[in-house]
Amino acid sequence: MTTVAPFGTGDRVDDAVTDLSASTVRRRKSIGDVLFVIPTWLFMLVVGVVPAALAVWLSVTDQSLTSGSGRFIGIQNFVLAVFTPRFVGSLGVTLVFVMLGLIVQFVLGYLLAAALHRQLRGFQVARTVLLIPMLLTPVVVGLVWNFMFNPDLGIIGAILSLFGVSVNFFANASLAIGVIVLIDSWMFTPFVMLMLVAGMTGISDEVRQAASLDGANWWQLTRYIVLPMLKPVITVTLVVRCVDIVRLFDTIYTTTKGGPGTATSTVSLISYATTFQYYDFGQGAAMAIALTVLMFPVYFLYIRLTKV
């Protein structure tokens, strides 16, 4: 499931606090206020800060099953696991998923949002139905599509065979990539749609009407009025989707398992396999750390967009 932080583009952090301590009731800053976030801090330390620090430590020590001694070996794990064709290939696969996923989901999501925004009869039913896929269990969604694309029993193969086409989607590299993009888009195009609809309700009709009166056609209206005004929402939506596609794991795991060959092996998949199938914790951690470091600019943007 996709999660969104409270995003905003306007006022920064501290100005946005509607603060009791600034009101007439309580004038002094209270250290006691920290008590409210102590449980949050505890959980963030246990599942976030400590594991992240430990992951960095694992990535620079010898942690393989055979020779694992836990001693410091510098960048050796990175040399063996990250600066390799396998890792670079998986990075390429991840990038392809991000690019294709974002394009498909944005284009379709925008068109659906525009359709939904007209609020014609039945739009609420459509919104309810389209809400469902993004909430579903990704592992099970993967199994469902695995079944749909099954070469022997799958309905998609059966439909295609009516046109004399017979293909095994899981044996062809480009088709397998297409299947993964399709599954992710099936789940999350409606998410993009909901975000854009929410953004569209913020655009006043008067602006559109004025442009319309001046003779702007649909494309000009979209290109010069709607898209520029939606820019903040679009940025947030695409950043969220990018972050989520980069860590895509469950749906790949229950469909292509990274195959055929390494055609759909993302960084998450090879890092998982290195760690939990070949038991090389050091190299697995090095791959995961490398991915995170490469994603820093996007994470930084995410934090900056967050209006906490």
Q: Hey, which residues between 197 and 236 contact another protein (CB under 8 A)?
A: 198-199, 201-202, 205, 208-209, 212, 233, 236
Q: Within 92-151, which residues bind another protein (CB under 8 A)?
A: 111-112, 115-116, 118, 120-123, 125-141, 143-148, 150
Q: Within 142-171, which residues bind another protein (CB under 8 A)?
A: 143-148, 150, 153-155, 157-159
Q: Within 41-60, which residues bind another protein (CB under 8 A)?
A: 41, 43-44, 46-52, 54-55, 58
Q: Which is nearer to another protein, 123 or 173 (CB)?
A: 123
Q: Which is nearer to another protein, 188 or 263 (CB)?
A: 188
Assess 249 for contact with another protein (CB under 8 A): yes
Q: Judging by beta carbons within 10 Å of its beta carbon (0-12, 13-18, 19+), is residue 126 exposed, middle or buried?
A: middle
Q: Judging by beta carbons within 10 Å of its beta carbon (0-12, 13-18, 19+), is residue 201 exposed, middle or buried?
A: exposed
Give the CA-trace dihedral at 252, 52, 89, 148, to 10 degrees: 0
C-alpha distances in Å from residue 86, one per residue of 12, 151, 201, 273? 42, 28, 46, 12
Reduce the DSSP state of residue 21 to 3 states and report it.
Answer: coil
Q: Which is nearer to another protein, 1 or 99 (CB)?
A: 1
Report in angstroms how near the CB of residue 136 gets to another protein at its nearest.
Answer: 6
Residue of 176, 246, 252, 263 that binds another protein (CB under 8 A): 246
Contacts with another protein by CB under 8 A: the residue count is: 127
Assess 254 for contact with another protein (CB under 8 A): yes
Distance from CA of residue 282 to its chain's centroid?
26
Beta carbons of 209 and 196 less than 8 angstroms apart: no
| Cα 178 to Cα 256: distance, rounded to the nearest angstrom | 11
Distance from CA of residue 296 to its chain's centroid?
15
Assess 306 for contact with another protein (CB under 8 A): yes
Assess 288 for contact with another protein (CB under 8 A): yes
Report in angstroms how near the CB of residue 263 gets to another protein at its nearest.
Answer: 18
- Candidate ranges 71-79, 97-105, 172-180, 277-285; the one touching another protein (CB under 8 A): 277-285
**Cis preceding linkage at 138, omega within 30:** no
- Under 8 Å CB-to-CB from 79, ≥6 apart: which residues? none
Q: Within 13-32, which residues bind another protein (CB under 8 A)?
A: 13-14, 17-26, 29-31
